[in-house]
Copies of this chain bind each other. A is one copy, B any other.
Amino acid sequence: MNSVHIEIPMSVTTRNSATPGSPSSPRSTYRHGDLRRALLDAGIELARQGGPDAVVLREATRRAGVAPNAAYRHFANRQDLLAAVRAAAVAAVAQAMEAEMADVPTGGTPTEQAHARVRAVGAGYMRFAHAETGLFRTAFGGQFSVEQNPDPAMGGLTGLNPFEHLSAALDDLVTAGALPPERRQGAEYLAWSTVHGMALLSIDGPLRGTPADMLQLLGQRLLDMVERGL
């Protein structure tokens, strides 16, 4: 039982940035300081609260205390801002996985370790979906791709993105002899499907509103099933 603790990179510099939420507070200087960062932060906050559709260019500029069109100095258009927000959301999922993996006990056989690692990846994914619904939707709600042409902005602290974490964990499983090599190919899609489905069912579907501990239990049963079935 592990509480979710997610780091989202926030403003590196707060120099000259208007206080979010109080657009009337004037900047002390003409230039903003780091408007790109401020818009991105605002976008992330919007996504957190309302998912990808809530990432509205005008609202982001409003929160940054800046004219609507100022955004076009830093992003080509709304899509471009949304893509940056999405990358941050994907990175946050990677971090949730990393946090979960950090809790894996170091003792045990290599097989036990490998299994625990796969489970941590899956559990991190599902936990994140439940804890940060808006960001999860932004990352994996609509169309997305994480596997090819890895975008460094989508990595967690280790630099690996969620898909790469899953792949690495499955590779470990093979190395530990817990997964026959001939079953390795495509296994990420089987595992991911499972966990992705439960994540969405717990957000949008019949599992919506299920208390976190029940969800945790059901998630463990799901991971049991994957472990046994893979």
Q: What count of chain A residues pass the 8 Å CB interface test? A: 37
**Chain A 184-200: CB-based contact to B (< 8 A → 1; otherwise 0):** 00100110111111111
Q: Are A190 and B143 in contact (CB under 8 A)?
A: no
Q: Are B221 and A144 in contact (CB under 8 A)?
A: no
Q: Are A190 and B225 in contact (CB under 8 A)?
A: yes
**Chain A 206-222: CB-based contact to B (< 8 A → 1; otherwise 0):** 11100000000010011
- For A145, the chain B residues whose CB sits under 8 A away are 205-206
Q: Are A201 and B229 in contact (CB under 8 A)?
A: no
How many copies of the shown chain assemble into the complex?
2
Q: Are B200 and A200 in contact (CB under 8 A)?
A: yes
A164-203 with Cβ < 8 A to chain B: 186, 189-190, 192-201
Q: Are B189 and A206 in contact (CB under 8 A)?
A: yes
Q: How far is the CA of A192 from the CA of B200 in the complex (A)?
A: 11
**Chain A 113-134: CB-based contact to B (< 8 A → 1; otherwise 0):** 0000000000000000000000
Which residue of the partner chain, among B143, B144, B195, B229, contacts A197 with CB atoms under 8 Å?
Answer: B195
Q: How far is the CA of A144 from the CA of B206 in the complex (A)?
A: 7
CB-based nearest B residue for A186? B218
| A228 adjacent to chain B (CB < 8 Å) | yes
CB distance from A192 to the nearest CB of B (A): 6
- For A218, the chain B residues whose CB sits under 8 A away are 186, 189-190
| A230 adjacent to chain B (CB < 8 Å) | yes
**Chain A 56-77: CB-based contact to B (< 8 A → 1; otherwise 0):** 0000000000000000000000
CB contact under 8 A between A197 and B186, given known A225-B229, A229-B226: no
Q: How far is the CA of A230 from the CA of B207 in the complex (A)?
A: 19
Q: How far is the CA of A163 from the CA of B207 in the complex (A)?
A: 13
Q: Are A221 and B143 in contact (CB under 8 A)?
A: no
CB contact under 8 A between A186 and B143, given known A196-B197, A227-B229: no
Ranked nearest first, the 7 interchain pairs of A and B with the lowest CB-CB distance are A197-B197, A229-B229, A225-B229, A193-B197, A193-B198, A196-B197, A228-B229
Interface residue ranges, A against B (CB under 8 Å): 140-147, 163, 186, 189-190, 192-201, 204-208, 218, 221-222, 224-230
